[in-house]
Amino acid sequence: MTPGHFPTVVIEKITPLIDGGRYPIKRTPGETIEFEADIFKDGHDLVTAMLRWRPRDEATWQETPMQPLVNDRWSGRCTFSDIGPWEVTIQAWGDLFRTWREEFEKKHHAGFDDLTSETLEGAAHVDKAASRAEGPDSERLTELAESMRTLDREALVHVIQSAELNTLMAEYADRSHATEYTPYLPVWVDRKEALFAAWYEFFPRNAEGHGDRGSTFRDCLPRVEDAKSMGFNVIYFPPIHPIGFTKRKGRNNSVTSEPGDPGVPYAIGSDAGGHKAVEPALGTLEDFEWLVGEINKRGLEVALDFAINCSPDHPYVKEHPEWFSHRPDGSIKYAENPPKKYEDIYPLNFNTPNWKALWEEMRSVLLFWARKGVRIFRVDNPHTKPVAFWEWVIAEVQAKFPDVIFLSEAFTRPKMMCSLAKAGFTQSYTYFTWRNTAYEMQEYLTELTTTEMKWFFRPNFFTNTPDILPTFLQTGGRPGFLIRHVLAATLSPVYGIYSGFELCENEPVPGKEDYWDSEKYHYRQRDWDAPGNIKDSITRLNRIRATNRALWQFERLHFCTSSNDQILAYVKQSAGGDNIILVVVTMDPHNFQSSWIDVPLETVGLPTNEKYLAEDLLNRENYIWTGTTNYIGLNPHDKPAHVFVLKRLVGRKNSLDHFQ
């Protein structure tokens, strides 16, 4: 309520609104939000409503008029420029001048003889606006008010309907009894890489692919260069911290390690330090900072794993034993996810009586690495820690470094995943990994792009991880890898691959989704250019992503009707509508499949009665189509997908030389 008067306008049922305004809507610079609300007041006064927004720490509002829809529903759009916290509100009031003008015009058209009193009333409204204005605007309003008192009726009607008068009266409207919606609606604006990026994950110790020894930070640049050449712009490292020796795991998760086994990077902590140190076998902290600098020089950036795990050798075990859970015999509990046991890892207890000190220490770890140039953190298993902790620590870190991005690795229940996203995680791992059919994919993407989730849940579609070798990749061969890459790279503007994907590595632990000879446990030998790799296809698709704005956003996604449930087709369109991408991909990695595809031409703004160009950017082929329904045939071993850009033909419609 504005001080000094009661609310004169009802403002309710605002959308989007996350948990009643408890959590912020997420945007990036240049992205638009369309807000809607029910706005009305008593009586017959016309209402004017303004959508207003500003950075949270600024006093001046930006604003734009809201437009009435139907049944007292209003709509307005705003766009955000800078990263950081913003707030939005709606201000509405009974517009006395517009109400007067409507009544005057009705009486004039009804043929009322004497409108002297009404004329003086309107002129008084203009005089008051002149008193609120300054400089030339004030002088002009005064002139218009005087002219209203002296003009004949026809000339008066011309003045009150003029764009000049109505623009000035809108600019200096009487808002003394305006109602402003509170509390203000929070919006968090991330940098653009939060919405559009391609991640490449590799273990620094295996950068060179030697099977008998590890690599160092100084050996990583060839792997970085290779990732850059494929079109990736985020280099993601699993934990780089000292690895414990007690209960160190051996090859293939053996409980007995052999001499020279490097241990699991997630078992953090040794005599060399804990979460603010680096594994000596990788080099020094100065070496890591050098690597970050070299990666940045190449136009890429580093994402670092934030894994809140401790080996039995971690300094925290001696310094803060109260931060861990203990058995009745006094020993510290190791991590378990039955039937899996992690004897080399002690999880921290976030419900310890000394929880404040623990929380503050975790904040200090994140700030330590942020000061070393890390601006992206992939957080390991955040769903096993309190949501309240994440809400607090993310806000604390982003208060100092608003450009920091947090990725939630929470493969868990849907409501927990959503809660973590609302609490502040910039991006989230998803169920994409396990959606294998066209129906499953369409159902899942429809949920992500059309429900409330689209305002706070940014999916990062990883094709595989060191912990997950999906069944589709195990059984689909090289075509399976090509198919999953097309899906990940075109359905989501943010996606990632774990190294080895480009080599189609797919040997599993029998009956499990784990990699056999996983590099989590030993040095992995690789030929990074081995025959059968799909690096060329990955590179081509990343280039397509970089040059087509339709693939830079997530929400404007339309699925096409397909006559074959083994073929998935979908259209993405840029915000301006001028870039239209149609993806058609087989979901069968073994057999030829064909289908009739219905392209939603009207939805994307293409004429239904003209020929148009379907330019296949992935396979470098061109087709001229007519109408909405067209035939597609896909052989997964040769051509598992099309990535078309759709364009109108101009001039000679039978020539590929004349299109826009």
386-443 pLDDT, tens digit each:
999 999 999 999 999 999 999 999 999 999 999 999 999 999 999 999 999 999 999 9
Residue 153 half-sphere exposure toward CB, CA atoms < 13 A: 13
Please indicate, yes or no, whether residues 484 and 373 belong to a single structural domain of this protein.
Answer: yes
Mean pLDDT, all residues of the chain: 95
Residue with tokens 């001080």: 3
Residue count (the chain):
660
503 pLDDT above the threshold of 50: yes
Mean pLDDT for 231-240 is 98
Q: Residues of 171-205 as b/e, b for ≥16 C-beta within 10 angstroms?
A: ebbbbeebbbbeebbbbbbbbebbbbbbbbbbbbb
Computed over its alpha carbons, how large is the radius of gyration of the chain? 31
φ/ψ of 110, rounded to 5, equals -80, -10
The tens digit of pLDDT for each residue in 119-151 reads 999 999 999 999 999 999 999 999 999 999 998
Residue type at 12?
E
> Is 81 part of a structural domain of the chain?
yes
Please indicate, yes or no, whether residues 2 and 132 belong to a single structural domain of this protein.
Answer: no
Please indicate, yes or no, whether residues 290 and 376 belong to a single structural domain of this protein.
Answer: yes
Please indicate, yes or no, whether residues 257 and 341 belong to a single structural domain of this protein.
Answer: yes
The tens digit of pLDDT for each residue in 305-323 reads 999 999 999 999 999 999 9
Amino acid 248: pLDDT: 96
Give yes or no for a contact between 486 and 643, defined as CB atoms under 8 angstroms apart. yes
> Is 528 part of a structural domain of the chain?
yes
Of 277, 278, 251, 275, the C-alpha closest to 263 is 251
Which residue pairs from 64-70 have beta carbons closer than 8 angstroms and sit at least 24 positions apart in sequence? 65/170, 66/35, 66/37, 66/39, 66/90, 66/92, 69/36
> Is 214 part of a structural domain of the chain?
yes
User: Of 512, 529, 546, which one is at a domain's C-terminal end?
Assistant: 546
> Is 45 part of a structural domain of the chain?
yes
- DSSP-derived secondary structure for 245-259: -TT--BGGGBSSPPT
Residue with tokens 């009739």: 596
- Supply the range of the domain harboring residue 75: 1-94+182-189
The tens digit of pLDDT for each residue in 443-490 reads 999 999 999 999 999 999 999 999 999 999 999 999 999 999 999 999
Please indicate, yes or no, whether residues 566 and 481 belong to a single structural domain of this protein.
Answer: no
Which pLDDT band, with edges at 50, 70 and 90, does 660 fall under? very low
Please give the Cα distance from 197 to 207 (Å, whole number): 22
Of 454, 588, 419, the C-alpha closest to 444 is 454
Amino acid 3: pLDDT: 54
Please indicate, yes or no, whether residues 226 and 299 belong to a single structural domain of this protein.
Answer: yes
Catalytic-role residue among 87, 201, 219, 380: 380
CATH number at residue 444: 3.20.20.80
DSSP state of 106: H
Amino acid 35: pLDDT: 98
Clarify whether 380 is annotated catalytic: yes
Mean pLDDT for 179-192 is 97
Which pLDDT band, with edges at 50, 70 and 90, does 655 fall under? very low
Q: Which residues contact 239 (CB under 8 A, 6 or more apart)?
A: 265, 266, 268, 305, 307
User: Of 500, 525, 546, which one is at a domain's C-terminal end?
Assistant: 546
Domains identified in the chain, total number: 5
> Is 622 part of a structural domain of the chain?
yes
CATH number at residue 73: 2.60.40.10
Which pLDDT band, with edges at 50, 70 and 90, does 652 fall under? very low
Residue with tokens 């059309």: 450
Percent composition of the chain: helix, strand, coil (DSSP 3-state, to 5): 35, 25, 40
Give yes or no for a contact between 210 and 201, defined as CB atoms under 8 angstroms apart. no
> Is 177 part of a structural domain of the chain?
no
Amino acid 351: pLDDT: 92
Which pLDDT band, with edges at 50, 70 and 90, does 543 fall under? very high
Clarify whether 409 is annotated catalytic: yes
Please indicate, yes or no, whether residues 429 and 536 belong to a single structural domain of this protein.
Answer: yes
> Is 658 part of a structural domain of the chain?
no
Catalytic-role residue among 409, 502, 505, 519: 409
Among 61-70, 102-111, 368-377, 520-529, which stretch is predicted with the lowest mean pLDDT? 102-111
Amino acid 614: pLDDT: 97
Of 192, 399, 204, the C-alpha closest to 294 is 204
Please give the Cα distance from 108 to 119 (Å, whole number): 11
CATH number at residue 608: 2.60.40.1180
Please indicate, yes or no, whether residues 273 and 229 belong to a single structural domain of this protein.
Answer: no
Please indicate, yes or no, whether residues 153 and 265 belong to a single structural domain of this protein.
Answer: no
Percent with pLDDT over 90 in the chain: 93
User: Of 546, 578, 608, which one is at a domain's C-terminal end?
Assistant: 546
Please give the Cα distance from 102 to 109 (Å, whole number): 11
- Give SS3 for 600: coil
> Is 475 part of a structural domain of the chain?
yes
Query: What are the E-state strand segments in 147-240?
Result: 179-180, 185-189, 197-201, 234-237
CATH number at residue 137: 1.20.58.80
Residue with tokens 């994950």: 201
Please indicate, yes or no, whether residues 64 and 28 belong to a single structural domain of this protein.
Answer: yes
Please indicate, yes or no, whether residues 225 and 141 belong to a single structural domain of this protein.
Answer: no
Q: Which residues contact 66 (CB under 8 A, 6 or more apart)?
A: 35, 37, 39, 49, 50, 51, 74, 75, 76, 90, 92
Please give the Cα distance from 351 to 652 (Å, whole number): 72
Amino acid 340: pLDDT: 78
Q: Give the pair of three-digit tokens for residue 625.
A: 């189509």
Please indicate, yes or no, whether residues 215 and 361 belong to a single structural domain of this protein.
Answer: yes
Query: What are the E-state strand segments in 432-500?
Result: 461-462, 494-498
Q: Could you give the angle at the alpha carbon of 594 between the alpha carbons of 591 and 597, nearest 5°? A: 145
